[in-house]
Structure 1
Amino acid sequence: MNKLGQLACPFLFFMDYKTEQCYVSELSNIKEEDIRFQVKDAYIQLQNFAEKELIVKSAIIPHPVDFEIYKSAFDRVKNELLLGNSFLTNLTVETPITLNMGLEEVIFHAKAKYKLWVKDQFVCFSPESFASVNPEGVISSFPMKGTLTAKEFEAGSTELLAPKEYHEHTTIVDLIRNDLSKICDKVWVERFRYLDFIKKQNGEGLYQVSSEVSGQLPTDWKSNMGDWFMELLPAGSITGAPKAKTVEIIAAAEKSTYKNGERGFYTGVFGIFDGESFTSSVMIRFIENQKQGLVYKSGGGITHQSVAEKEYQELIHKIYVPVF
């Protein structure tokens, strides 16, 4: 990343949650039959495949992990919160699914700001920006934390305004502000707690709360792009605070919510540098191809006010493919 940034050479990258598996390639070397991507944000609009006509409406059937398995992991996290070892912990699970289309069809038709398909491995259709940098070196991060179904929102639910949701979101904004302070000369909150609407394949939708935290990078930001970017990982919105201790808590709790005991590329990051601007996304809304079949990975933030039953329902609500 440093080398290609110094050369102002456009490239794509993606890496797993632990940053143990990392892929970086010049855009000109990427073959569509192996990797397909699409990015649509304020600075970069790029894709390497042509749109196709939707033949069949998507249908997804989740087969959720048993509630008791989830609750065991939840109780472990909740105990750490009550001990004061974390203020917010993002707990995730994998859910076997039945899907009436292939992952290649998902990348063609899913509606999302960021899309990535890696042959025989996974597809991601993420609504969540991670870090974007304009040509002047202003970096912006967009933590997304707080979810409500459209049906609940339109019925007048005030859950997104509840202390639990406010605390959860504020904690992540503060964490991102601290992360950016490691690499920026100046940091500020550009927008605080605005709503995004995301449509699901069944015609329903989700409202999610985001903020925009910005900073000014040094003038040589392109020449050491890999160094400062790695300083920000793992993403605060999918870990918690304080980050280092919370990552330890997540590792212990999620041994029971994943068959192989870890997230893999889910909640990792992918992004593009076009020679002048940079953008990246947190890999949420994620379907993985495993030997046993397809699994959908999802989760949510846990605070001391969280209730296991509600959090369990939220991770199921997040199992959708935005194809319609």
Structure 2
Amino acid sequence: MQTVIIDHYDSFTYNLFQLIAEIQGVEPWVIAHDSDEFLQLDPSVYDNIILSPGPGHPDNSHDFKIGKSIILNSDKPILGVCLGHQGIFSAFGGRVARAPTPMHGCVSTISHSQDALYHSIPTPFQVMRYHSLVCTGAIPVELEITAWTQDGLVMGLRHLHKPIWGIQYHPESIASEYGRQLLVNFQHLTAQYYQHRRQKLPSQIMLNKQPNAKPPYQPGPLAPTPNGHDSYTIISQKHPFHANPASVFQQVFAQYPSAVWLDSSQVVPGFSRFSYMGALQGPLAYQLSYDAHSQTTTRIQGQNTTSFAMSIFAYLKQALLSISIITDPNLPFDFQGGFIGYFGYELNQVTASIPDTKPAPHPDAQWLFLDRFIAFDHQEQCCYVVAVSSQDHLASNTAWLQTLSQTLQDIIEVQPCPLPPYPVQGTWLQAPADYKSRIQDCLDYIDAGESYEICLTNKLQFSCQIDPFRYYINLRHCHPAPHAAFFKFSDLAIACSSMERFLKIDRHRKIEAKPIKGTLPRGQNPDEDQQFTRALQVDIKFRSEHLMIVDLLRNDLGKICQIGSVAVPSLMQVETYATVHQLVSRITGQLRTNVHGIDCIQHTFPGGSMTGAPKIRTMTLLNQFETQARGIYSGSLGYISLNGAIDLNIVIRTAEITPHQISIGAGGAIVALSDIEQEFEEIVLKTRALQTALGVTLHEQDALHLTIT
């Protein structure tokens, strides 16, 4: 059976895609509601239609362009979900208006009329709702209500004479019961419809006529086959720990103008076992930067600078496909040479075609190609000195391994001895009153159905001069984190203490996302700490914002993963860090064979936990609400390995440091249940550890100055 999904730019469409493909054994075709593709599609090649959820109002052609025509003119079975459901009601003369209460990420109990769409589904049952609008008023004579909430709101309908059904809720959500069964029922109803008309399924007829015919639309990119004309091998030496990684970085790499350290400063078994560091020093090493507004990637290698009229993603993919690497299967870590760097948030104009983005103060992406690095295994308390070598450089790289191995034995151990923090006072880029006003704007747009969740951000800025590396040492001491990092690029340093994984792809192409949504502070004593943990687990607002992001990331992975492989092994678990408790989930999948790792990043960036949902509409709204580019904050940093492995974080709890300024980004998810004052308090909480590290660093600098004087 062949299904067409009309997509209204929702962030849950590919959850429907995955479910339908599992049920039917055939991938549905996804067609944007405002494209001409559906009009060009031969009706004889598909069997039924699903009108997807989406933002906006069904009476607005910008939101629901082709849906009304399909509903009124198609003779195919149709299932409308959320916006599609409202579109059915509106097409037959019904009224769609604001619901008494917006329901986004909220689980409700509904009942049904025993209609065939609900076969084998008990009544009542629980479903996930994402909507601010509802079908209300007089019921069109052609329709009947098939499902409703406890307070009488319409949750389902059907046409009396045509094979048309609508449901207000989201059967594809992780929190909906019997979603798969409902979609199975829709496929059975489709088959019965053609049987009653004594017709074969149109797709079966076409299959018999054209066994080699290809579908008109294929989701997912096709990666070219690498022909690797640069051949490298991995050489390495293993050593026990002679000094902590901070001392190694300070004495081996800190003197280089460009150096990077991916630092698992909080070691979590199975999650953050390894750290990596290196600098722009090897014979193959080079630096990349990207400017999104000019769409130019610049490569610097030694004294040579070359510009390319291509995106950073296109360059990285081309570079990786041009390399053949003989990896060492005995090395226990996935990064075996390649790129370490960051993607800034404003790359959303490349990945999602977001218009009118503001120029960022720093390059939109910077990456170092590392052919020499050190990997630390915190579990086994050892490190590896590693080089990616061509045959021509084998002798020099072997000599480097031996020299660095000796250097590691001579490292002077440096332990942090932080002083009490000075009080520090920063300036919010958006003054508190203005930021709170923007929160109200977000709530108004959510109430109107334009978004379900809006991740609004701000920046706290300090005018001062500090040693960036000393600042990072103090930050990792007061707020250790599994996805921490210290980067330095010329006049920019990045001190990151992120706890959140954006994407990890291992050597076997297994993919994982680990979003964070929901934050409360640590308690002043064990009892209060436990109270905050329990509150985080049961708070409706935190759960709603978190469930939305889980469904969004399931959708994003559903675009690029094999059918049936997307799973949620861990849902809404509390993780505790030095200063906060966080609500965390884990989403996994198996990458499709025809999708390159760089394509995977492009299809999912920026991370949904930093945008909200639906992603594209919400990012467009954020351009209106936020007065300055986010830059590195809420982007992603990590590694892209030559063997195909990728591990990227979400850039949160991060300071961007220039010679005269420190900038700290912070934000929160605005949902219908948000309280304006609590939302502002949350961003203050999220900057607390970074402000403490700054206060300690300023105290150290004063103490050093007094000592020298």
TM-score, structure 1 as length reference: 0.83
C-alpha change, 1:77 and 1:292, in structure 2 (3 Å) is farther
1:237 correspondence with 2:599: no
- 2:435 — aligned with what? 70
User: Are residues 1:302 and 2:670 paired?
Assistant: yes
Change (3 A) 1:188 1:159: same
Secondary structure at the aligned position of 1:61 is classed as coil
Structure 2 regions of 5+ residues with no counterpart? 1-315, 326-336, 351-363, 387-407, 697-709
Which of 651, 672, 675 is the aligned partner of 1:283? 651
Give the structure, 1 or 2, with the largest relative contact order (CA under 8 Å, sep 6 or more). 1
Q: Which residue in the other structure is 1:61 paired with? A: 424
Q: Structure 2 matches for 1:36-115, cutoff 5 A?
A: 52-57=414-419, 59=421, 61-63=424-426, 65=428, 66-97=431-462, 102-109=467-474, 110=476, 111-114=480-483, 115=485
Matched with 1:143 is 515
Give the superposition deviation at 1:64.
Answer: 5.1
Q: TM-score, normalised by structure 2?
A: 0.40
1:238-281 CA-to-partner distances (Å, cap 9, x unmatched) read: 000000011011111111xxxxx111111111121344432110
* Corresponding residue of 2:295: none
Once the two structures are TM-superposed, the CA of residue 314 in structure 1 deviates from its matched residue by 0.7
Aligned equivalents of 2:496, 2:682: Cα separation in 1: 19
- Give, in whole Å, the separation in 2 of the partners of 1:58 and 1:182: 49
The one-letter code matched in structure 1 to 2:548 is T
Match of 1:189 among 561, 568, 589: 568
Query: Do 1:40 and 1:113's aligned partners in 2 also have CA atoms closer than 8 Å?
Result: no
2:462 and 2:662 in contact (8 A); partners too: yes
Is 2:640 aligned against 1:273? yes
Aligned-residue offset at 1:220: 5.7
Judged with a 3 Å threshold, the aligned counterparts in structure 2 of structure 1 residues 29 and 285 are, in CA distance, closer, same or farther, namely same
Q: Secondary structure at the match of 2:605?
A: coil
Identity across matched positions, percent: 24
Give 1:62 deviation, angstroms.
Answer: 4.3
Q: Deviations over 1:267-308 (max 9, x none)?
A: 111121344432110111111235762221111111011111
- Aligned amino acid, residue 416 of structure 2: L
- Are 1:212 and 2:586 counterparts? yes
Q: Secondary structure at the match of 1:318?
A: helix
Question: Which position in structure 1 is the counterpart of 2:72?
Answer: none
Moved more, 46-55 or 10-19: 46-55
Q: Deviations over 1:181-230 (max 9, x none)?
A: 1111121111101122121xxxxx20001100001012465xx2222211
Equivalent of 2:488, from 118, 121, 128?
A: 118
Q: 1:220 to 1:130 in 2, by over 3 A?
A: same
Structure 2 residue 317 is the aligned partner of structure 1 residue 2: yes
Given the alignment, which residue of 340, 349, 353 partners 1:12? 340
Matched ranges for 1:225-264 at <5 A: 225-255=597-627, 261-264=628-631
The separation in 2 between residues aligned to 1:195 and 1:106, in whole angstroms, is 28
Letter in 1 for 2:370: L
In 2: Cα distance, 1:124 partner to 1:313 partner: 21
What RMSD, in angstroms, separates the aligned Cα atoms of the two structures? 3.2
Query: Within 2, Cα distance between the matches of 1:293 and 1:100?
Result: 7
Partner Cα separation in structure 1 for residue 504 and residue 445 of structure 2: 33
Shift of 1:104: 1.3
Higher mean C-alpha displacement, 107-116 vs 230-239: 107-116
282-291 or 69-78: bigger deviation? 282-291
- Is the 2:481–2:499 Cα contact (8 Å) retained in structure 1? yes
Cα distance between partner residues in 1 of 2:345 and 2:368: 19
Q: CA deviation at 1:112?
A: 2.2
Q: For residues 47 and 123 of structure 1, what CA distance do their matches in structure 2 show?
A: 24
Aligned partners of 1:12 and 1:273 also within 8 Å: yes
| 1:131 aligned partner | 503
Shift of 1:151: 1.3
